Structure 1
Amino acid sequence: MTGPILFCGDPHGRFGHIIEAADRTQASGVILLGDMEPQRPLHLELAPLLECKVPVWFIHGNHDADSDELWMRVWGSELADRNVHGRVVELPDGRRLAGLGGVFRETVWYPSASAARAGAPAFRSRLEHSKSTPRQDRWGGSGTHRKHWGTIYPEDIDSLAEMRADVLILHEAPAYHPNGFDLLDTLAQSMGAKVVVHGHHHDRLDSADRWAEQGFKSYGVGLRGITSIDAKGNAEVVVAGELDDARLGRLL
């Protein structure tokens, strides 16, 4: 495949549009931005892509750990090793891709001065949290409650900040977004990322006037939307998000 790399906004259980767009554009890669909520194991949902040898990467969203069944369809899938949360991989065009899945939660850490504990974390790591989690509620190798597989811990940020990447994908949004986080701008800057792409909020906002200040280009991808982003950081909407028209004028 010699076509674009596609960044796919929250599918929430529907993948047909991704398979169609990848085929139509001859995509050289597909990247899912979380909240996949597959109705079957993820490798079965994306089987047509795998059969055509289109490489797939993803980060998880908060809803991907909403139930035991969803957890198994994502982390128990044959594509589990394509989760780029907390690591860096090389894309077909040579760019380095890093990922941060999940969301901030007050019970663990919500990095805002107006939040509980003035934004300080209750737990810095999953291991620390597991010691406070009743044995019957522990899940998988992390030892924390299953839903917290979709939670961001300080250790996730600390680890990524030591890495270098050209593109950083997030489920949460960086600071340009009304519900974004300054901390994620700092993370992208420390990693040397030139492009940041996120899902979660189902928005495709135009923040181009802030890119020089940020030091990177930022893109939101809407609900079930698809955007291609080339090696120079130029974006093109391949499939409009389902809420894009309703939110078209929602600028910062």
Structure 2
Amino acid sequence: MHPGPLLFCGDPHGQWQHIIDAALHTNARAVILLGDLEPARPLHIELEAIWERVWFIHGNHDTDHADNFANVWHSELADRNIHGRVVTLPCGTRIAGLGGIFRGAVWYPKDQQAPKFRNRDEHASQTPRQERWQNSVPLKHWSSIYPEDIEKLATLQANILITHEAPGYHEHGFKALDELARRMGVRTTVHGHQHDCIDSSACWVVQGFESYGVGLRGVMAWP
């Protein structure tokens, strides 16, 4: 087992060398990507030097076009996508993942309106066949968050929750993710998407957990 830290990596948007360098320099025990990967080649090829340590969630830009989708969902690292589940790293840390973003066409918790769809299957059943992607929802909505995604995670327990969207401490964040973190009993949340580096650990007493944002192509070592 690698004895170094966990590395949380902000939206790479197709750039990888800084992540590989950081992982090798720190002897990182795990490398965790926070979405918007946009690999130009299958993800396992881009990260071949460190692939055995890589875990990730997808971001909204990973469904911008078919190539992005294929290089993430059909790569040999596809089973390292933590979205919707909890994985236990070799060091014993339990990490939960929620990829994608909230979209009004599905569910936007801030607008107080009922979700349009509870899950991807319900959405797909109301999608014209010619608009479906891989016999499911339209390509873009493979990176939309559905209520069922959060409901399933809320039944699990973890130490760390990674999300693409920001939780409620962020001006563009969502309090629905605060509630999820508390229900899962996590001590720490880490997110990407907003391209800024913010440390809300001082809000521990108010939130019940600490939150970190990792900036565009940023790398945060933890602990």
Normalised by the length of structure 1, the TM-score is 0.86
CA offsets, 1:175-213, max 9 Å, x none? 000000111000000000011000000011132331111
SS across alignment from 2:183: helix
1:32 to partner: Cα distance: 0.1
SS across alignment from 2:117: coil
CA offsets, 1:129-169, max 9 Å, x none? 1111110111125x111111110000100000000000000
**2:40 and 2:138 mapped to 1: Cα distance?**
22
SS across alignment from 1:228: strand
User: Which of 152, 164, 174 in structure 1 is aligned with 2:157?
Assistant: 164
The one-letter code matched in structure 2 to 1:102 is G
Look up the match of 1:65: 63
Look up the match of 1:236: none
The one-letter code matched in structure 1 to 2:105 is T
Work out the percentage of aligned pairs sharing the same amino acid: 59
Look up the match of 1:211: 204
Q: Does 1:125 align with 2:119?
A: yes
Normalised by the length of structure 2, the TM-score is 0.97
SS across alignment from 1:98: strand
1:70 to partner: Cα distance: 0.6
Look up the match of 1:175: 168
User: Which of 129, 133, 148 in structure 2 is aligned with 1:155?
Assistant: 148
RMSD: 0.9
**2:98 and 2:42 mapped to 1: Cα distance?**
21
**2:93 and 2:49 mapped to 1: Cα distance?**
25
Unpaired runs of 5+ residues, structure 1, are: 231-252
User: Which of 196, 214, 221 in structure 2 is aligned with 1:221?
Assistant: 214
Q: State whether residues 167 and 176 of structure 2, in contact with CA within 8 Å, keep that contact through their aligned partners in structure 1.
A: yes
What aligned pairs does 1:1-252 form with structure 2 within 5 A after superposition? 1-50=2-51, 53=52, 55-112=53-110, 115=111, 118-140=112-134, 143-230=136-223
- The size of the alignment, in residue pairs, is 222
